[in-house]
Amino acid sequence: MYQEKKCPACFDHQETLKGYYGVVSQILLNKVVLALFYTDRRTVFEYKRKNAPLDNEDTFTQFAYVAHRLGIEIKTTSVAQAKGRVERVNQTLQSRLPVELRRTRITTIEQANQFLDGYIKKFNDQFALRLNSTKIVYEKQLTQSQINKALTIIGNWKIDKGHSFQYHNFHYMIVTSTGADVYFKEGTEVMAIRCLDGKTYANINDKLYNILEIENWEECSKNFDVIPELKKEKKKYIPPVDHPWRQNSWKLYSSSTRAHLYGANN
């Protein structure tokens, strides 16, 4: 049997791709590569397009892409009875953990994650059932660097006129490992790769580059670009009261005003 170093569990504000990556990184660090994920049907694992006649037209999510690269099969189901042992453990933890956290006066997520390190191991030692039919289904363990590069978020972008590209509302230049700028023509496709540690790289023509954020990005260069003159905003024309377009409205307004005045005097 494997030697368990740390529990593959953590608290987060909500279920996100980043949170699932955190749990997977714990599994990869402390055990080895899994053969199968058996989970529920969340869009982070699989996403089926509406009106798609064939299953092979489903979208390939970021998590599914990472699992495919690691050789991990993903099996999903929305039926709780199909994964009864997992559901029972979740129900037990959901009822016991809040009590344990209150007893230890834990109020933050950081404190709760530290508490999980020892609690899950103690919980497993007390309640886990080791079955003789259980087989080892792990493969070769990965290093921290390999895990960081495996659990990534990938997006496709294009180089703009300034030899840069926009990613998450920021503009970046392509640079080499020594910090030298690299220039590509407008429209060149860029694959932005954000690793688990938060660092982002650019893949262009199957070559990996570093990126550097442009602090004072401007759409036009004062030295090289011809800055177009700003068009003066036209003043909105409001026709006078006696304009032919407004004569009918003016007559209606006048008649209603006279009727109101005469009615008040009477």
1-5, 14-18, 44-48, 207-211: least confident range: 1-5
Q: To which H or E segment does residue 200 belong?
A: strand 200-204
DSSP string of 58-87, one letter each residue = SB--HHHHHHHHHT-EEEE-S-GGGGHHHH
Can you say whether the dihedral through the CA atoms of 9, 61, 68, 207 is positive or negative? negative
Mean pLDDT of 132-153: 75
With a CB cutoff of 8 Å and minimum separation 6, the contacts of 8 are 23, 26, 27, 30, 31
Rounded to an integer, what distance in angstroms lies between the CA atom of residue 182 and that of residue 178? 11
Q: Is the pLDDT of residue 131 over 70?
A: no
In this prediction, residue 217 has a pLDDT band, given cuts at 50, 70 and 90, of confident
80-130 pLDDT, tens digit each: 777 777 788 888 888 888 898 999 999 888 898 888 878 888 888 877 776
pLDDT at 201: 92
